[in-house]
Structure 1
Amino acid sequence: MTAKVRLLAVTVLAGILVAGIAFPLVGGIGLLSNQAVEGAQDSTPGVLGGDMPSITTVTDDSGAPLAYLYDQNRQIVRSDQIAVTMKAAIVAIEDRRFFSESGLDPRSIVRAVLNNGSGGSTQGASTLTEQYVKNYDEYVAAKTPAEQLKATEATLGRKLREARVAEQLDHSLSKDEILTRYLNVVYLGNQSFGVAAAARTYFNTTPDRLTVPQAAMLAGMVQSPSAYDPVNHPQAATGRRNVVIDQMRQQGEISPQQAAEAQAAPLGVQAPLHGLSNGCVGAGDAGFFCSYVLDYLDQAGITPEQLRSGGYTVKTTMNRAAMTSAKQAVDAQVPPTQPHVADTLAVVTPGATSHPVTALVANRGYGLDASQGQTTYDLPVQPENLGAGSTYKIFTSATYLMGGGGISNIIPVPPSGYASPLTPGFVVANDGNYPGQLSLQDALAQSPNTAFVKLEETTGIAPVVDMAVKMGMTSLTKPTSPGGPSIADTVKAQNQASFTLGVAPTSPLELANVGATLASHGTWCPPNPITSVTDATGSPVTIPSTACHQAVPGPLADTLMTGMSKDDQPGGTSAAAATAAGWNRPTAAKTGTTQTSESGAFVAATPQQSGASIVFDDSSNPRPICNGSPPTSCSTGNLFGGNTPAQTYYQAMTQILGGQPVLPLPATDPRYVTGGNRLSVPQEIGQPIDQATSALRDAGFVVTTSSVDSRAPAGTVVGQTPAGGSGQAIQGQTISLVTSTGKVAAPPAAPSG
């Protein structure tokens, strides 16, 4: 009998039976036909194709798993990855005629109709092929509880559809392929979908290594995963397992002696089971890195939903040894449960074509238990709102060098209380006493605030902001609200001279990448956490990425590395921390502290690695932090970038770089050591804009203009940066002129009433 004839006969017989038992006599068969068609519309192509959701595995840089992502705990395996014992056990107990007969069992359908129609117990399909179709509809095609219920409802329409699809499968696939698909889709309890997940969950093994008693236990669970749960019902599970073993013996799959030994064996299942933790919470200390990877892939076009069902393998750049050293360092400086004090560290590897992210850690654990200091907020990646302090002086220095300055140039250091003309009302204070002038290199090491605000008068504020973005602070360009301005736009519009003091929200990862840009001879690349991604078939998946670019000239970056090389030396702001750690590597470094010590930062780079630590109050109501062992929240803070943040960095990096050679910093370039030609700046305030512009250009400068409302005649220069007269600037430097509109803003309206 052909498949079409057999299916037609079953359909007609079933229709006749149901017409007299469960359906009105008139129109019954037509309704059955409609049910069958309706049920087949969505899932038939899928079940024929065999696509199934499977877990995504996220690994470290060596390929060792660090996290699993899934909607269903299922690992798809090939036929040769499933033990013969498993195949024999499932065939013995579920469909002993599987290899010799059709995928359709007419008797089971008629039996199901009679039982279901008369109110008897629900009867399932008897062939493994039909069971595969049913399991696929329930666990793969169905996306909601309602769809799952529909996929298992006891209707003749559904059973006829299962029979039709089973016949199609039986004539298009080998028996072994159908059996493999079935073993990949079937639910085996305790969130284990398929034989691979079940082998791991119950026995911590792989499906190719299942023994006779293990395979028999799993095969026995198919009938009722809950009733034969080996953890909750071990006696029932053992009894059912032994039934399967006896069926295997009767069918000649195993000898009587093998059957006796298998039936005498213990179940071998012990709690807790070996299930896979789902998501980044299960990644432990690597949770922050895992979270960053998922966000990175989402932005690249692979959504979390795709990851949870697509069976990808995501190999990351995370180095396990570096992560361990970094985590030990942050926890040693600030215990995980220390109230109000978070310690973060990001480590990035420099490179000309990529900046791999090596480690991302925080003293807080990644998780949901706030009482244990846990959080799922990505502390090492997201910009923290308190700022990174004087680390931003790096950008002012780079802008100064770009304009023709040099690291050996002497710059003025105004005393505390200096009022910069850049931002009216902005008064700058120093934390300590400094000489009236320093070389730029010494100023970077000692970090007087007034010197760098004064330097901004030479460079202009907008170029410093642009330099920060080019070197790695890309989050500054993101709108602070939908359709609103970015931080960079606001700083430029308001001419905020405080920018060089690091008041903008700052990401530890972005700050570490700034160091990597310098150590990469001025080449910026986006921080990259991905080595490779492959799909469920093992084929590579292309991940789009922003191209690298030359942020600053290579010789400038190399020279600025030396310009920042005194921070760990006597007199430098991190010298004590470096000495305590036994640090002996040439390093470009910069500390930073916010005005009230609510946060402190440290960024440093060697030719091999760059890292940044930011310590800050992570509560909803930040307070100053007092330095100590450990740091504490207090009323008058004294946290500095040179203590806890620098101590975190030096402790971690001493271990991370321990086996690598001590390398010198790159060679300097004379152009950026002594700087370019320094010229007197003409004083043009009060002059017509055309005349002022011409005079400055003739003197060797570039000119930009803007305007403000003022009583001065329209087109008259009312502001100039850098100031003219006795001031000097580098040849080719930009001079900013502000002209009057000749208008005076209208006074505010008088209050009503």
Structure 2
Amino acid sequence: STITQQYVKNALLSDDETLSRKLEEAALSMEIERTYSKERIMELYLNTVYFGNGASGIEAAANTYFGVSSSGLNLTQAAMLAGIVQSPSIHDPYENPEDAKKRRDTVIQAMLDEGYINPQTAETAEETPLGVIPKGDRPGEAAYPAGHFVSEVREWFLDNPEFGTTRAERAELLYGGGLRIYTTIDLNTQAQAEAAVNKFLPNPGFQGDPNDFSHDPDAALVTVEPRTGYIRAMVGGKDYFGDTDYAKVNLAAGKGHPTGSSFKGITLATALKQGIEADDRFPSPGQACFSGWCPSGGGGLGGSAKLEDCAAFSSNTCFAYLASKVLGPQKIRETAYDLGISQDKLKERDGSVNATITLGTYDTSVQEMASAYSTFANRGIRVDPVLVTRITKADGSVVFQNQHRQRKVLEPEIAYEESRILTGVITKGTGKDNANIGRPEAGKTGTVELKSGANSDAWFVGYTPDLATAVWVGYAQRVKAPDGTPLRPKDLGSVQGGKVPAQIWADFMKTALAFSPPTPFTQPVPKQTAPTIPEVRQFEPVEPPDIVQMPDVRGRGREDALARLEELGLKVTSRELKEDPQNEPGEVVNQSPLPGRALTQGAQVTIESAPGTQAVPSLLGLSDSDAKAALKRAGLEVKEAASPAPEGTVGPDGEPVGPGTVWSQTPAPGEAPPEDKIVEIRVVPQPGEAPTTTGPPAEG
């Protein structure tokens, strides 16, 4: 194809090899050649073509490979750049320097043949080394928000075979495909997270001197929406664009860090799954030994203690007893995997797992811990973390669309009891002094102590029904003394889970949730079971109705409020105001009765909302007809496909989705409605029903 066609393909069209695209490419190319000079077309092409190593456009390429502006390129540098465009991965001067030089010399020879240079200049140029700057010496890049999050998105894309067979193919699409990538990051929430970290740890960068108290430890933070899995903020270090050796290392992802007692939340869930109750008692001395392992520290309560107190005061010996004598480490690891922690982790070299898992001796990432605890917040329903919601090409065609999927990994009763017990960490336990944010919340502290007595890592992982956030404080540089002993300031109190990590968590959560009304953890309605022994009675007593408390739904979207109230078993009348310029479309502005009122299930309540639609409603678990009705109420249309749900897919109630039930929707619940007002849903087919797709008529 011609340079003009390449420019049209790179900047204006998709890569689809279809007849219509080829015809459109040819038509646009002819129009551009009629409109612009050859020099202008070449300029447009050079400003959009991909040169490899993340460089799109000639200016970025000159800066990446030679550390100069495009106007400062010499003959040999320009020839190399012209040569590698053909295939940036094959002619990569860092990975294949001999191939890159051969390609450059081919360009120089072509310039000689065309009369642009003389033989002496060509000979000198071909004898000149490539002269690319070392990768580590590249000039600083322009800063942008949420650098570590952007880096994580980049790696997600480059590792995803959905975008190309090889990493090189994916890189060419990412950097040269004219893509629009829609992510889950909320820049306001991101700024709030960074501000909270900087407030308590303004000067990170400890280098290993035990007497150096001028530098703070490093920190990382990830916050996740439990219902969607959307990562709304990610702090992976002080400054992604900083000059430290590890500035671009994402401390919130990757291999992770020892989690300390914050992992006890997962052991607790395992115990509850096995039928252990909050008031069951277990040994909790100051120190105890189990097969040669003698844990101490933590909140040793003396004698025996209730499970809920062991969690609140973080008794190491109590949880060691649970892991060693009651549950077994394998069951704890299985729960962790169910909650989304990578199956590459939590194991010894031979694949086994030790009882020390309960005290967080294995590395886990901040992102994984936030996601795992978000399942507790989401009533036992796991939604994997999401970085990207949608990717489109320059012509608007969709390359990727996130499909909202969820599965039940804990019974709702277990998740509720987990939250109730972990609330005690904040109301009376190790998080009491610093983690209380004045609304329903739950969480767990964690501190990793070295044999020297110094602390290496500290955590606070906590959540409300709206947000789950993990905070890690520790040392990015694992500095050691000559004898191999890790160096840490011995009395740096910030590296304790109940101190700075809890302070960062509370400061951030208060700000992030400032405009969200407090939401209680929803207690599941007990399942009715038939008596095992028949009883004969002259009359049956009337069971008293279940009592629920009217929540505060003001400020929430109409559909979100309806879902919350109906979940409590209330009958809702929804009224839309004719005018309301002060509130967001679809925002609930009034409710009756007011929050806190005790109601019987089935009671009638009323909400009033601003006109319009605030967000796409949740359709998951609804019947085909109910989903269509909900979209109609929201002023949206539906495109429906009948297709089988992946194994293990569950609805909001945690039960497997059945025939005629919505199991996936696009956009996800809570997202802004698409411009065409069409919401796509996937419905489990009825028995014998073939997969189908229906929807509004296409335009034109």
Which category describes the TM-score, using the shorter chain as reference length? 0.5 to 0.7
1:101 counterpart residue number = none
Alpha carbons 2:259, 2:360 under 8 Å: kept: yes
TM-aligned CA distance change 1:622 to 1:281, over 3 Å: farther
1:729 counterpart residue number = none
State the distance in 1 between where 2:444 and 2:488 align.
24
1:390 corresponds to 2:257: no
Deviation, 1:621, is 1.8
State the distance in 2 between where 1:93 and 1:282 align.
27
1:587 counterpart residue number = 441
Deviations for 1:440-466, whole angstroms, at most 9, x for unmatched residues? 222211111111111222112110111
Question: Given the alignment, which residue of 623, 641, 644 partners 2:497?
Answer: 641
TM-aligned CA distance change 1:618 to 1:137, over 3 Å: closer
State the distance in 2 between where 1:381 and 1:55 align.
35
Alpha carbons 1:283, 1:290 under 8 Å: kept: no
TM-aligned CA distance change 1:281 to 1:564, over 3 Å: farther
State the distance in 2 between where 1:553 and 1:468 align.
15
1:429 counterpart letter in structure 2: S
Which structure: greater helix fraction? 1
1:344 corresponds to 2:220: yes
1:356 counterpart letter in structure 2: Y
1:431 corresponds to 2:303: no
Question: Given the alignment, which residue of 547, 551, 555 partners 2:409?
Answer: 551
1:314 corresponds to 2:181: yes
Alpha carbons 2:298, 2:313 under 8 Å: kept: no
Deviations for 1:343-367, whole angstroms, at most 9, x for unmatched residues? 110011111xx40111101442102
Deviations for 1:478-497, whole angstroms, at most 9, x for unmatched residues? 2xxxxxxx533659735x22
Alpha carbons 1:330, 1:363 under 8 Å: kept: no
Deviation, 1:510, is 0.5
Question: Given the alignment, which residue of 471, 475, 487 partners 2:339?
Answer: 471
Question: Given the alignment, which residue of 448, 456, 471 partners 1:598?
Answer: 456
2:432 counterpart residue number = 575
Question: Given the alignment, which residue of 347, 350, 359 partners 1:501?
Answer: 359
1:361 corresponds to 2:231: no
State the distance in 2 between where 1:445 and 1:670 align.
26
State the distance in 1 between where 2:248 and 2:111 align.
46
1:512 corresponds to 2:370: yes
State the distance in 1 between where 2:41 and 2:418 align.
73
2:359 counterpart letter in structure 1: L
Alpha carbons 1:472, 1:510 under 8 Å: kept: yes
State the distance in 1 between where 2:239 and 2:26 align.
38
How many equivalent residue pairs? 419
TM-score, length-scaled by structure 2: 0.54
Alpha carbons 1:562, 1:668 under 8 Å: kept: no
1:330 corresponds to 2:159: no
State the distance in 1 between where 2:361 and 2:348 align.
15
Unaligned 5+ runs, structure 1: 1-43, 57-76, 96-133, 160-277, 479-485, 624-631, 672-753
1:406 counterpart letter in structure 2: E
State the distance in 2 between where 1:444 and 1:452 align.
8
Deviations for 1:271-323, whole angstroms, at most 9, x for unmatched residues? xxxxxxx9995444411000110111123233333211111111110000000
TM-aligned CA distance change 1:140 to 1:305, over 3 Å: closer
RMSD, aligned CA: 4.0
Deviations for 1:708-736, whole angstroms, at most 9, x for unmatched residues? xxxxxxxxxxxxxxxxxxxxxxxxxxxxx
Deviation, 1:542, is 2.5
State the distance in 1 between where 2:205 and 2:87 align.
47
1:575 counterpart letter in structure 2: K
State the distance in 2 between where 1:633 and 1:404 align.
41
Deviations for 1:504-554, whole angstroms, at most 9, x for unmatched residues? 112001000012111122122221110210123221112678953322122
Deviations for 1:403-434, whole angstroms, at most 9, x for unmatched residues? 11222x222233122112xxx21012133551
Deviation, 1:562, is 1.2
TM-aligned CA distance change 1:349 to 1:89, over 3 Å: same
State the distance in 2 between where 1:94 and 1:317 align.
36
Question: Given the alignment, which residue of 655, 670, 685 partners 2:511?
Answer: 655
Q: Which has the higher contact order (CA 8 A, sep 6+)?
A: 1
1:418 counterpart letter in structure 2: A
TM-aligned CA distance change 1:324 to 1:414, over 3 Å: same
Q: Where do residues 349-748 of structure 1 align in structure 2 (5 Å cutoff)?
A: 349-351=225-227, 354-367=228-241, 369-370=243-244, 375-385=247-257, 387-407=258-278, 409-420=279-290, 424-456=291-323, 457-474=325-342, 477-478=343-344, 487-488=346-347, 493=352, 496-542=354-400, 548-569=406-427, 571-579=428-436, 583-596=437-450, 597-621=455-479, 633-635=488-490, 638=493, 639-667=495-523
Deviation, 1:54, is 5.6
Alpha carbons 2:5, 2:26 under 8 Å: kept: no
Q: SS in structure 1 opposite 2:319?
A: helix
State the distance in 2 between where 1:556 and 1:397 align.
10
Q: Which has the larger radius of gyration?
A: 1
State the distance in 1 between where 2:276 and 2:39 align.
84
1:560 counterpart letter in structure 2: E
Q: SS in structure 2 opposite 1:330?
A: helix
TM-aligned CA distance change 1:327 to 1:153, over 3 Å: same
Question: Given the alignment, which residue of 292, 310, 327 partners 2:152?
Answer: 292
